[in-house]
Amino acid sequence: MYGLVPYNISPIQQGIQFGHAVVEYGLDYGHKSDDPYLQWARNDKTFIILNGGTTNNNKDNYGTLNIAKLNLHSLGVQLSTFHEPDLGDQLTAVVFLVDERVWNKEKYPEWDGTYRGQKVQTGMGPIAHYKNLFAEEGPWVLEMREFLSKYKLA
């Protein structure tokens, strides 16, 4: 389970806000027997808490956490959020699951200019590489890897 939290709350509060959003995720999606949440909850239980930057619900000046939420929506990512009542109902956590194609770079290697061990001269780039690995979902995997690469651990 990945999550983005604001930078300007204490580490323990970051973990608590993340936990609140995970509970929301379970309520939102855990009742579906085929949802990845149940797989994660039963087997994985790994938390990856990332620094999401700032939070600001003002539509004229959204915070980076709010923008990240919008970006995840545009990528079609199933997510849940938490807004902290004690902080003026500001967005304090965005959580989401991604499958191993996004995070397991050993099993699903990054584009390195080769295809099946042979150096590619022309005609293939990262998008074609990921389409070869993941069919039509290849561009989404690449976009999610690029999205996550922008964030550091909280």
Q: How far is residue 102's CA from residue 100's CA, in Å, rounded to a whole number? A: 5
Tokens 């709010």 — which residue? 66
Please tell me the pTM assigned to this model. 0.87
* pLDDT at residue 26, as a whole number: 95
Q: Is 63 left (phi over 0), alpha (psi -120 to 50) or beta?
A: beta
Tens of each residue's pLDDT in the chain, 154 residues: 999 999 999 999 999 999 999 999 999 998 877 789 999 999 999 999 999 999 998 889 999 999 999 999 999 999 999 999 999 999 999 999 998 989 988 888 887 776 666 666 556 677 777 787 788 888 888 899 999 999 999 9
Q: Any bridge partners for residue 27, and if so which?
A: none
Q: How far is CA 50 from CA 8, 12, 149, 152, in A?
A: 13, 13, 10, 6
3-state DSSP of the chain: CEEEEECCCCHHHHHHHHHHHHHHHHHHHCCCCCCHHHHHHHHHCCCEEEEEECCCCCCCCCCHHHHHHHHHHHCCCCEEEEEEHHHCCEEEEEEECCCHHHHCCCCCCCCCCEECCEECCCCCCHHHHHHHHHHHHHHHHHHHHHHHHCCCEC
